[in-house]
Amino acid sequence: MASASSPESKAESTVRFYNVLSVAFFLIAIISLSMLTLYLVTDFVVLALGAMDIGTILNAVSRMISIRTLPDSKERRTKATSTVKFFHIVSYACFGIAAIVFAIALNDLATDFAVMGLELTGCGTILQAVSRDIQLEGV
Protein backbone atom coordinates (compact mmCIF):
# COMPACT_ATOMS: atom_id res chain seq x y z
CA MET A 1 0.00 0.00 0.00
CA ALA A 2 2.87 2.36 0.81
CA SER A 3 4.43 1.76 -2.60
CA ALA A 4 1.18 2.76 -4.33
CA SER A 5 1.55 6.29 -2.98
CA SER A 6 5.30 6.60 -3.51
CA PRO A 7 6.57 9.61 -5.44
CA GLU A 8 7.63 7.37 -8.34
CA SER A 9 4.17 5.83 -8.75
CA LYS A 10 2.54 9.25 -8.46
CA ALA A 11 4.87 10.58 -11.13
CA GLU A 12 4.16 7.62 -13.41
CA SER A 13 0.40 7.97 -13.00
CA THR A 14 0.63 11.73 -13.62
CA VAL A 15 2.65 11.15 -16.79
CA ARG A 16 0.10 8.59 -18.03
CA PHE A 17 -2.81 10.90 -17.21
CA TYR A 18 -1.20 13.90 -18.93
CA ASN A 19 -0.38 11.80 -21.98
CA VAL A 20 -4.00 10.61 -22.26
CA LEU A 21 -5.27 14.18 -21.84
CA SER A 22 -2.84 15.50 -24.43
CA VAL A 23 -4.01 12.90 -26.95
CA ALA A 24 -7.61 13.87 -26.20
CA PHE A 25 -6.86 17.55 -26.82
CA PHE A 26 -5.02 16.72 -30.06
CA LEU A 27 -8.09 14.73 -31.18
CA ILE A 28 -10.29 17.72 -30.34
CA ALA A 29 -7.98 19.85 -32.46
CA ILE A 30 -8.29 17.41 -35.37
CA ILE A 31 -12.07 17.41 -35.07
CA SER A 32 -12.13 21.20 -34.95
CA LEU A 33 -9.91 21.48 -38.03
CA SER A 34 -12.03 18.92 -39.85
CA MET A 35 -15.02 21.20 -39.30
CA LEU A 36 -13.31 23.57 -41.75
CA THR A 37 -14.32 21.17 -44.52
CA LEU A 38 -17.96 21.91 -43.68
CA TYR A 39 -17.76 25.54 -42.61
CA LEU A 40 -15.04 28.00 -43.60
CA VAL A 41 -15.02 29.77 -40.25
CA THR A 42 -11.73 30.84 -38.68
CA ASP A 43 -13.15 30.20 -35.21
CA PHE A 44 -12.54 26.49 -35.80
CA VAL A 45 -8.85 27.22 -36.34
CA VAL A 46 -8.78 29.24 -33.11
CA LEU A 47 -10.42 26.37 -31.25
CA ALA A 48 -8.00 23.88 -32.79
CA LEU A 49 -4.99 26.00 -31.85
CA GLY A 50 -6.28 26.30 -28.29
CA ALA A 51 -6.73 22.55 -28.03
CA MET A 52 -3.30 21.92 -29.58
CA ASP A 53 -1.80 24.43 -27.16
CA ILE A 54 -3.25 22.61 -24.16
CA GLY A 55 -2.20 19.23 -25.57
CA THR A 56 1.32 20.49 -26.20
CA ILE A 57 1.62 21.89 -22.68
CA LEU A 58 0.40 18.65 -21.11
CA ASN A 59 2.80 16.64 -23.26
CA ALA A 60 5.72 18.92 -22.39
CA VAL A 61 5.03 18.70 -18.66
CA SER A 62 4.68 14.92 -18.82
CA ARG A 63 8.03 14.70 -20.60
CA MET A 64 9.61 16.92 -17.96
CA ILE A 65 8.21 14.73 -15.17
CA SER A 66 9.33 11.52 -16.88
CA ILE A 67 12.86 12.87 -17.31
CA ARG A 68 12.97 13.77 -13.61
CA THR A 69 12.04 10.22 -12.64
CA LEU A 70 14.94 8.69 -14.55
CA PRO A 71 17.97 7.91 -12.41
CA ASP A 72 20.89 10.27 -12.92
CA SER A 73 22.52 8.52 -15.84
CA LYS A 74 23.59 8.82 -19.43
CA GLU A 75 20.07 7.84 -20.54
CA ARG A 76 18.60 10.76 -18.57
CA ARG A 77 21.06 13.25 -20.07
CA THR A 78 20.48 11.90 -23.58
CA LYS A 79 16.69 12.04 -23.23
CA ALA A 80 16.85 15.51 -21.70
CA THR A 81 19.12 16.83 -24.45
CA SER A 82 16.92 15.47 -27.24
CA THR A 83 13.78 16.80 -25.53
CA VAL A 84 15.28 20.28 -25.14
CA LYS A 85 16.36 20.33 -28.80
CA PHE A 86 12.91 19.19 -29.93
CA PHE A 87 11.14 21.78 -27.76
CA HIS A 88 13.39 24.53 -29.09
CA ILE A 89 12.64 23.59 -32.70
CA VAL A 90 8.88 23.45 -32.08
CA SER A 91 8.87 26.70 -30.08
CA TYR A 92 10.82 28.57 -32.76
CA ALA A 93 8.37 27.24 -35.36
CA CYS A 94 5.49 28.51 -33.19
CA PHE A 95 7.14 31.93 -32.90
CA GLY A 96 7.76 32.09 -36.66
CA ILE A 97 4.22 31.14 -37.58
CA ALA A 98 2.91 33.54 -34.92
CA ALA A 99 4.84 36.40 -36.52
CA ILE A 100 3.24 35.64 -39.88
CA VAL A 101 -0.22 35.35 -38.33
CA PHE A 102 0.26 38.61 -36.39
CA ALA A 103 1.29 40.34 -39.64
CA ILE A 104 -1.93 39.14 -41.27
CA ALA A 105 -3.91 40.31 -38.22
CA LEU A 106 -2.36 43.78 -38.34
CA ASN A 107 -2.69 44.11 -42.10
CA ASP A 108 -6.33 43.02 -42.25
CA LEU A 109 -7.40 44.04 -38.73
CA ALA A 110 -8.50 40.43 -38.20
CA THR A 111 -8.93 39.65 -34.53
CA ASP A 112 -9.18 35.89 -35.13
CA PHE A 113 -5.67 35.94 -36.56
CA ALA A 114 -4.45 37.93 -33.57
CA VAL A 115 -5.89 35.29 -31.23
CA MET A 116 -4.19 32.58 -33.30
CA GLY A 117 -0.90 34.46 -32.99
CA LEU A 118 -1.32 34.72 -29.23
CA GLU A 119 -2.04 31.00 -28.96
CA LEU A 120 1.07 30.15 -30.96
CA THR A 121 3.20 32.58 -28.96
CA GLY A 122 1.90 31.12 -25.71
CA CYS A 123 2.66 27.58 -26.82
CA GLY A 124 6.19 28.53 -27.89
CA THR A 125 6.81 30.39 -24.65
CA ILE A 126 5.70 27.48 -22.48
CA LEU A 127 7.85 25.04 -24.45
CA GLN A 128 10.82 27.37 -23.96
CA ALA A 129 10.07 27.56 -20.21
CA VAL A 130 9.85 23.78 -19.85
CA SER A 131 13.05 23.22 -21.80
CA ARG A 132 14.80 25.88 -19.70
CA ASP A 133 13.60 24.14 -16.54
CA ILE A 134 15.07 20.86 -17.80
CA GLN A 135 18.36 22.64 -18.53
CA LEU A 136 18.47 24.36 -15.13
CA GLU A 137 18.10 21.05 -13.35
CA GLY A 138 21.57 20.29 -14.58
CA VAL A 139 20.55 17.41 -16.76
Domain ranges of the chain: 3-136
Is residue 137 classed as helix, strand or coil in its secondary structure?
Answer: coil
pLDDT at 139: 56
For residue 103, the Cα-to-chain-centroid distance in whole angstroms is 23
Ordered mean pLDDT values, 10 residues apiece, the chain (139 residues): 64 88 91 84 81 87 84 83 89 92 86 84 89 78
What are the backbone angles phi and psi of residue 121, rounded to the nearest 5°? -65, -40
CA-to-CA dists, residue 134 to 6, 10, 17, 91, angstroms: 22, 19, 20, 15
pLDDT at 27: 92
Question: Residue 75 contacts by C-beta under 8 Å, 6 or more apart in sequence?
Answer: none
pLDDT at 89: 92
Q: For residues 49 and 119, is the Cβ–Cβ distance under 8 A?
A: yes
Q: For residues 102 and 114, is the Cβ–Cβ distance under 8 A?
A: yes
